[in-house]
Structure 1
Amino acid sequence: MENEDEYCMLLALPAIPEGGSQAEELAQRSTLRTAFITYLQLKQAAGIINIDGPQGSYVVHIFPPCDFANENMARIAPDLLSAVAEVPHLVIVIATC
């Protein structure tokens, strides 16, 4: 992530589908928290996926809330970080190889 032109950072949040209910939102929050965030935090790891495609090779990093994710979010979008602090979320970084 040393070169700003060679990565993008995304924020994954639970979403309510149009016409969805509060129960659906709670289910998404629970799934995100238990299936991804808690798993990665227990392993003290980020998810890493290597992708080779027709446009090039990329590495996708998936971070649960952690020092790295929070520091980068605070640097890039401090208001967004404070807005999602209590919402289960993942920080996703896609970088060129």
Structure 2
Amino acid sequence: MSALRDWLTSRTPAPPDALILPVEDASGDLTATLADAGALVLTQALTGEGERSGAYDLLAADGLLTYACESAAGAVDPEVDLLQILERVGRRSG
């Protein structure tokens, strides 16, 4: 299991089984990986034009971005990481 999957599995509460988070088993910067995945799914939700599946994408984006913020909060300099999350989301969504 990757470091990212290990970290996600250790979260309390764990994501619901019905909500599959679209995150690759990537190594590297957890915060950046989660933020990029959240921004990508948010973009998908916004382009759904009112489709019901967009609600699930929105929930997944919320979960991923929340986890990214949680990961950033544990960093040496959380402010820098949190600002990078905002930049990543801003680049993706417009």
TM-score by length of 1: 0.31
TM-score by length of 2: 0.31
Higher strand share: 1
Higher relative contact order (CA 8 A, sep 6+): 1
Higher helix share: 2
- Whichever of the two has the greater Rg, that structure is 1
